[in-house]
Structure 1
Amino acid sequence: MGMSFAYGASDDTQSFATLEKALDLGINFWDTADMYGNGANEVLLSKVLEKHRDKVFLATKFGFRYK
């Protein structure tokens, strides 16, 4: 899904499909942070979970951004 420099560019289509499959398989604990993908991960999750929020436990954290 490539949400950091180490994994290359992200592909929204692949990311949505992967997260939807996780939901289908019953994966219900998701962990994110504002630093993952420079905030892109949280935006992605908000779109995927918009209709599924009642099915998932969502953990998040915050940190410092270095420039």
Structure 2
Amino acid sequence: MAVDGDDGSRSADIAQRLGKSAQALAPLRASLISKGIIYAPQRWCIAFTVLGMAILIERQRQLLED
């Protein structure tokens, strides 16, 4: 999700990147929503609840790669 930025990600795109079906990831999606980490602004889309979270995660990922 972080690579898509703060505008949100399509659930199907996330599943494809992970090599899983959207149905297989549904319980994880529901868990993250119930914990308040993500929300679903539209039926096909999920986004982080904290503005700027995508940028923070991407920076951390880049630091780990260097």
Fold agreement, TM-score > 0.5: no
The structure whose residues are more often strand, as a share, is 2
- TM-score, normalised with respect to structure 1: 0.30
- TM-score, normalised with respect to structure 2: 0.31
